[in-house]
Amino acid sequence: MRGYTGAMAIRGLKKATAVLALLLACAWTPSVRAEEGKTSPEPAPVSPFAPNAQEAPRPDGRKGTLELSNDKTFPGQITLTLGEKLEVFVEKAKRFEGFELKDLARIELSIEHETQEKEWRWKEGGSDEKVFTGRTYVDRKYLMKLTLADGKTVVSGHVKGAPIFVKGADGKNARFILRHDQAGEMGQKPEEVVYVKSVVFDAAESGESKSSAGK
57 found inside a domain = no
Q: Is residue 54 part of a domain?
A: no
Split into its structural domains, the chain has a count of: 2
Please indicate, yes or no, whether residues 33 and 79 belong to a single structural domain of this protein: no
Do residues 177 and 72 both lie within one domain? yes
Range of the domain at 136: 62-213
Instruction: Please tell me whether the overall predicted TM-score, pTM, comes out greater than 0.95 for this model.
Output: no
Encode the chain (215 residues) as per-residue pLDDT tens digits: 444 445 555 565 556 565 555 555 554 444 433 343 444 455 555 555 454 544 556 778 899 999 999 999 999 999 999 999 999 999 889 999 999 999 999 999 999 999 999 888 887 777 778 888 888 999 999 999 999 999 999 999 999 999 999 999 988 999 999 999 999 999 999 999 999 999 999 986 444 444 444 44
Q: Are residues 43 and 75 in the same domain?
A: no
Report residue 2: phi and psi, to 5°.
-65, -40
Residue 80 belongs to a domain: yes
Q: Are residues 106 and 37 in the same domain?
A: no
Same domain for 5 and 93?
no
One domain, residues 131 and 195: yes
Q: Could you tell me if 22 and 112 lie in one domain?
A: no
Are both 33 and 97 inside the same structural domain? no
Asked if residue 55 is part of any domain, the answer here is: no
One domain, residues 176 and 204 = yes
How far apart are the C-alpha atoms of 195 and 192, rounded to whole Å? 9
Report yes or no on 56 lying in a domain.
no
